[in-house]
Amino acid sequence: MRQALHHWDGQSDLWVFGYGSLIWRPEFAFLEARRARIHGYHRSLCLWSRINRGTPECPGLVFGLGLGGSCTGRAYRIAAARVPEIMHALWQREMPSAAYIPRWLDCHTDAGPVAGLVFTMDRQDAGYAPALSFEQTVAVIRQGHGRYGACTDYVLQTAQALDAAGIADRRLRAIAGALRDTEHSPS
């Protein structure tokens, strides 16, 4: 965490970019949230979840940022005085397995760019789930259930939060539609 915060001057407010559950469950106090876009990464269900949304025997999938494209999410401004406390809790949440590589990226907002801390997927990590087909992705999500509940709920909550924020993600919308169709289809 210290290394990731090396670029922070210790005096300024700090921006953190959220693209998955941080959009609907940030769990930290922030001064401001802005719709933001980063370039070079896209939102992807590319991280096996063997505890929170699945088990080692029956993993689920959670979001990471894969290489290429762009991603629209939210940039959160954290008060400088609260950064040490908030980052400690956020680090425990986002980095328990070190599956992400924290990077400082430009987050493009309507009020101009801000440098934000962004958790990107480490493709060398054992938890990385390389490109699964649409059908495989939906099947894994349906089966996953872990400490924080069903993987389906996680994906649907994220899709709903993105829709509510006016953030379009066609692939996620299609996955959510397939999951909802399954919920409503007769057994």
Q: What is the pLDDT of residues 43-77, one digit of tens each?
A: 999 999 998 999 999 999 999 999 999 999 999 99
Mean confidence (pLDDT) of the chain: 91
pLDDT 10s digits, 14-54: 999 999 999 999 999 999 999 999 999 999 999 999 989 99
Contact 25/63 with Cβ under 8 angstroms?
Answer: no
Q: Read off the pLDDT band of 186 (50, 70, 90).
A: very low
Residues with Cβ within 8 Å of 14's Cβ and at least 6 positions away in sequence, in order, are 5, 8, 77, 78, 80, 83, 87, 117
CATH number of 4-180: 3.10.490.10
Give percent of the chain above pLDDT 70.
96
Residues with Cβ within 8 Å of 179's Cβ and at least 6 positions away in sequence, in order, are 138, 141, 142, 152, 155, 156
Position 187 pLDDT exceeds 50: no
Q: Read off the pLDDT band of 1 (50, 70, 90).
A: low
Predicted pLDDT of residue 28: 93
Predicted pLDDT of residue 184: 52
